[in-house]
Structure formats: C-alpha cells, structure tokens
Amino acid sequence: MAVTKVADTKSLSIEVQSGTDTSGNATYSKKSFANLRTDVVVQNAYDVAEAIKSVLAEPTRAYFVNSASELVNA
C-alpha cells in the first residue's frame, strides 16, 4: 500500500527579540500565527511577516512557515 502525505495545517512564526542573556547577546522567542492556507505562496507569507514586523516594537530576526501533515495509508 502507498502512503500519502496530506497537508493539514500551516502557520507563520516570527522570531522576536525577548531580551538579552548575561553576555549581552539578544535572545529571541517565536510569535506564531495559525491558519495559513495550506497552499500559501511563500512570497505572500513573507509579505505578511514584513507587515507584522513593521508594527512590532521589538526587533525581529527570522520568519518561518511551519507545516503539519498527516500520513495516510491508502
């Protein structure tokens, strides 16, 4: 039998500076935004992350699109 991967959910995460460590280096935490379309165009996801970044008070570092999929034995 063939196993198929079915995309279930996608979310957008942005690393946002949350403070500094004892050496003075920036520390980051992730803010996640759920319910991206499973067929999201990566440029559109990037543009949304840039728009969110522009209204955040803290500096950001990286953007991520996270995927969760179900494996189905068909």
Q: 74 or 21: which carries more pLDDT confidence?
A: 21
Q: Which helix (H) or strand (E) holds 48?
A: helix 42-55
Q: Is the pLDDT of residue 53 over 80?
A: yes
Quote the strand ranges of 1-74, DSSP E: 3-20, 26-36, 60-73
Q: Is the pLDDT of residue 56 over 80?
A: yes
Q: How far apart are CA 58 and CA 9, in angstroms?
A: 27
pLDDT level of residue 17 (50, 70, 90 thresholds): very high
pTM exceeds 0.95 for this model: no
Which of 57, 55, 60, 49 is closest to 27 using CA atoms?
60
pLDDT score recorded for residue 18? 96
pLDDT score recorded for residue 27? 98
Q: Is the pLDDT of residue 58 over 80?
A: yes
Structure tokens at 73: 């034995």
